[in-house]
Amino acid sequence: MAQRKKYAFPANRESLEDYYDMTLSCYKCGYCKYVWPSRIQHDKFTGQCPSGEKYQFESYYASGRMEVVRGIIEGHLKWTDRLNHILYTCTMCGACDESCGQVERVYPTDVILEARRTAVKEGQILPGHQQLAKSVSKHHNLYESDHADRNNWAKGLADVKSRSKIIYFAGCTTESLKPSIAKSTSKLLKSLGVEFGILPDGWCCGMPLFDTGQTDDGVKTLKHNIEQIRDTGAETVIFSDAWCYKAFRDSKDYGIELGFKVLHLTEFLAPYLAKGKLKFDRGTNETVTYQDPCYLSRYFEVYEQPRDLIKSVKGVTLKEMYRSRRESFCCGAAGGVKFQFPEVTEHASSTRIDEAKHAGLSKIVTACPSCQISLEDASKDNGMEIYDIAEYLSEGLKKTKK
């Protein structure tokens, strides 16, 4: 999202009550539910809100959630399973913010997030989210993986460095579940002769904790990483995981000045591509599509760099799905949703796979391990191939070198 402009009072919001006027200023215009009207490409694919599309009741759309939050503030609603379900099935994809930003500027995700923080303060932590926090506190990752194994992927590809101008932060999802992304990223960086290091003791970035309202825990783990990075004297940190990228980019919201530059891998590679220093050839002619990770695209407007990189691969044609860029449909993984309500993730990612199939596509490239995993899970029986952009490009690198 570009610059956020709020004209409502008060300017500084610190508690849920401070968001009261935001909930009231929702006019029920409904723009947050759909692809922005002038950009509709196909009438079957016009929904924008993953949770609304699944549950259909107004409460599961941003506009309805504004009423639910009003109900909490006014004391009409007590904490119940349904209330938590409504609050925590939002994937924080930001599609509603994007549309509402063009009409009323309620910025629903801000309101929903504050409601989640309030829920946590009042002891309402859902089991899946509690588990997250436990795992992060004990293992420093989301998946209860052995912390000692975190840099296993790096053997022969990347080194822990005490001083380095560039740090690659792979993140715990990649380290635990998708090490191939980290390997591919390292290969790409090496092919450009980039000198980089990895952290000796990197922890989870904290994003799912922030998303689930467990802000203090999130700040703790984020701060640990920032200190580690500062110790290396790094000027730039590269991310291949959109969640981690967002956690660091949002650090100002938690009063933290980073003192180094935060770049997604695709942002880092873009200037090299522009200068002709990157050439890819996967040895095949094929058409692929691109899934925008919400935390990279809608939140930080990284739309073109991944596309330019994909288009630069010899013989590859990039075809957009009906909903793309600002109108992209979330894979359903974010917002802490997949840890508590995986059925929402499943619904969103299968909807997305259906869309790709409907558009005659069979290969999807994305730029975040979580998007990759959820789309893969929805593709088990339908032959859709899902790639992370680092893998997709680095495979092209191999062929070029031959």
Partner 1 sequence: MIEPAVLERLKDIVGSEFATDDPEVCIAYSRDLATYLKFGKYRSPDCVVLPSTTSEVQNIVAVARQFKTPLIPLGSGINVASAHIPRKGGIIMDLRRMNNILEIDEEAVTATLQPHVTIARMSTELQRKGFFIPVPGAPSTVTVGSNYTHGNTNKASLRFGFQYSHIVSVEMVLPDGSLLRTGSWADAFSGDRSWPRGPGPDLTLLPRYALGLHGIVTGITIKAHPLDDICLPIWAAFEHVEDATPAFVEMVHREICTGSSLYGGFKYNSYSADTAECAWRQSRIHPEFILALTIQGSKRRVAFEEKVVRELTDKNNGRIITDRLPFYQMFVDTHMAMSASLYSEFAFKYWASPGAGPSFLGPSSMDKIIPCFKAMTNLASEDEAFGDVDWGNWEFNRSMIAYPDQGGHFAIIEGGIAAHPTDPKAIKAYKRYVPKLIKALADIGVSPDQSRANTRPGEFGISPEYLELAEKFRHALDEVGIMNPGVISPLIYR
**Contact between residue 291 and residue 262 where contact means Cβ atoms under 8 Å apart:** no
Q: Using the rule CB under 6 A, is 197 a contact of ligand SF4?
A: no
Judged by CB under 8 A, the residue of 1, 71, 157, 160 near partner 1 is 71
Residue 118 or 225: which CB sits closer to ligand SF4? 118
Judged by CB under 8 A, the residue of 80, 152, 284, 317 near partner 1 is 80
Q: Which of partner 1, ligand SF4, none interacts with 46 (beta carbon under 5 to 8 A by kind)?
A: partner 1
Judged by CB under 6 A, the residue of 22, 35, 62, 172 near ligand SF4 is 62
Q: Using the rule CB under 8 A, is 56 a contact of partner 1?
A: yes
Q: Enumerate residues 6+ apart whose C-beta is below 8 A from 240.
A: 168, 170, 171, 174, 181, 182, 185, 264, 265, 367, 368, 369, 388, 390
Tell me which amino acid residue 359 is: A
- For the CB of residue 294, give the shortest distance to ligand SF4 in the complex, in Å: 8
Q: Using the rule CB under 8 A, is 33 a contact of partner 1?
A: yes
376-381 contact pairs (CB < 8 A, 24+): 377/345, 377/346, 377/349, 378/346, 378/349, 378/350, 378/352, 378/353, 379/353
Q: Using the rule CB under 8 A, is 43 a contact of partner 1?
A: yes
**Contact between residue 386 and residue 364 where contact means Cβ atoms under 8 Å apart:** yes
Judged by CB under 6 A, the residue of 106, 263, 321, 331 near ligand SF4 is 106
CA atoms within 13 A on the CB side of 6: 18
Sheet holding 313-318, edge to edge: 313-318, 280-291, 363-366, 385-388
CA distance 196 to 240: 14
Q: How big is the chain, counted in residues?
A: 402
Residue 56 or 382: which CB sits closer to partner 1? 56
Q: Note if the bond before 10 is cis, omega within 30 degrees.
A: yes
Judged by CB under 8 A, the residue of 22, 112, 205, 244 near partner 1 is 22
Which residues between 100 and 159 bind partner 1 (CB under 8 A)?
Answer: 102-105
Q: Which of ligand SF4, partner 1, none interacts with 373 (beta carbon under 5 to 8 A by kind)?
A: none
Q: Enumerate residues 6+ apart whose C-beta is below 8 A from 210.
A: 113, 218, 247, 250
Binding mask 22-51 for ligand SF4 (x = CB under 6 A): ----xxxxxxx---------------xxxx
User: What SS3 state is found at 156?
Assistant: coil
Number of residues that bind partner 1 (CB under 8 A): 45
Q: How many CB atoms are located within 10 Å of the residue 178 CB? A: 25
Q: Which of ligand SF4, partner 1, none interacts with 50 (beta carbon under 5 to 8 A by kind)?
A: ligand SF4
CA torsion sign for 321, 324, 329, 332 is positive
Q: Which of ligand SF4, partner 1, none interacts with 353 (beta carbon under 5 to 8 A by kind)?
A: none
Residue 100 or 189: which CB sits closer to ligand SF4? 100
For tokens 């609304």, name the residue.
Answer: 52
Provide the token pair at 285.
Answer: 């002619």
Q: Which of ligand SF4, partner 1, none interacts with 108 (beta carbon under 5 to 8 A by kind)?
A: ligand SF4
Judged by CB under 8 A, the residue of 4, 15, 57, 235 near partner 1 is 57
Binding mask 66-85 for ligand SF4 (x = CB under 6 A): x-------------------
Residue 16 or 393: which CB sits closer to ligand SF4? 16
Residue 31 or 268: which CB sits closer to partner 1? 31
- For the CB of residue 240, give the shortest distance to partner 1 in the complex, in Å: 34
CA distance 226 to 310: 31
The DSSP output letter for 146 is -
Residue 64 or 206: which CB sits closer to ligand SF4? 64
Element (H, E) at 218: helix 215-232
Binding mask 85-104 for ligand SF4 (x = CB under 6 A): -----xxxxxxx--xx--xx
Q: How many CB atoms are located within 10 Å of the residue 146 CB? A: 10
Q: Using the rule CB under 8 A, is 46 a contact of partner 1?
A: yes
Rg (CA), the chain: 21
In the complex, the residues that contact partner 1 under the rule CB under 8 A are: 5, 7-9, 21-22, 24-25, 27-31, 33-34, 36-41, 43, 46, 55-59, 63-65, 67-68, 70-71, 76-77, 80, 82-83, 86, 102-105
In the complex, the residues that contact ligand SF4 under the rule CB under 6 A are: 26-32, 48-52, 62-63, 65-66, 90-96, 99-100, 103-104, 106, 108-109
